[in-house]
Amino acid sequence: MTSYAFIFARGGSKGIPGKNIKPLQGKPLIQYSIEVALQTSGINNVFVSTDDADIAKVSRSNGAIVIDRPIELAQDDSPEWQAWKHAISWVREQYGDFEEFISLPATSPLRSVKDVESAILQRSKIGADICIAITPASRSPYFNMVKQLGNNLIELVNKPTNSISRRQDAPEVFDITTVVYVANVEFIMSHDNIFDGVVTSVVVPRHRAVDIDDMYDFNFAESILNNTVSEGA
């Protein structure tokens, strides 16, 4: 089976200007995703879809093949799923057909090769359309997440049938991460949403599930990397 990795990186980040190539511990942010893709067993090629010349330059210098993303697919409100479809069509035209699509967002620099390989194996084992990465949630809609009712009152997002007095007694819930997405190519091309198909998952620890959106996230990721380096010294 032919498997290709994709990294989707726009140039117009608002929270952190130039985020996708901002140096994190001396390396452009996107380089972390490229390196993991190149090190992952079974990935045949690594593509970066971008509308930005600087991101393209950094990506090529680190061994990725660049796909020029149309400007209409690089706006703040552009659905990433459509960028996925565009990238698949481009690769099919240039490199021929392939079966497995692996997305490794640049904003998750702390993932490991093992996380990606586990997701690839899990999708294959289950026979799912897509495998995503999840991490234990810090809040629970059954215990300490609420919604406003519009009359100055609130209630739990999901009211349990029986009273729950301890978080440990609530159903276990998870956050969806941006660590890795592994999908069947035909599923992506014929649908418009992850949960349109059969979805499985792999669990990753929180310290590898950091998704960088703002400087708080960036500094947090840098702190984790600094601690990792210190522990390994």
Q: Dump pLDDT digits (tens) for 168-197.
A: 777 889 999 999 999 999 999 999 999 999
Mean pLDDT of the chain, nearest integer: 93
Q: Which of 8, 6, 148 is nearest to 78 (CA)?
A: 8
Which pLDDT score, from 0 to 100, does residue 10 have? 92
Quick one: what percent of the chain has pLDDT higher than 70?
Answer: 97
Q: Who wins on pLDDT, 161 or 8? A: 8
Quick one: what percent of the chain has pLDDT higher than 90?
Answer: 80
pLDDT level of residue 150 (50, 70, 90 thresholds): confident
Bridge partner list, 201: 132
8 Å CB contact between 140 and 167: yes
**C-alpha count within 13 angstroms, C-beta hemisphere, residue 183:** 26
> In sequence order, what E strands does 104-167 have?
130-136, 146-148, 154-156
For residues 114-126, give the mean pLDDT: 98
Question: Range(s) for CATH 3.90.550.10 in the chain?
Answer: 3-134+175-214
8 Å CB contact between 199 and 123: no
Q: Which of 64, 46, 53 is nearest to 11 (CA)?
A: 53
Q: Which of 179, 169, 184 is nearest to 130 (CA)?
A: 184
What's the CATH fold of domain 3-134+175-214?
Answer: Spore Coat Polysaccharide Biosynthesis Protein SpsA; Chain A (3.90.550)
b/e code 212-222 from CB counts within 10 Å (16+ = b) = beeeebbeebb
Q: Who wins on pLDDT, 28 or 169? A: 28
Determine the Cα–Cα distance for residues 87 and 99; give it in Å rounded to an integer: 14
Q: Who wins on pLDDT, 171 or 30? A: 30
Which pLDDT score, from 0 to 100, does residue 165 have? 67
DSSP state of 153: -
Q: Which of 198, 182, 33, 204 is nearest to 134 (CA)?
A: 204
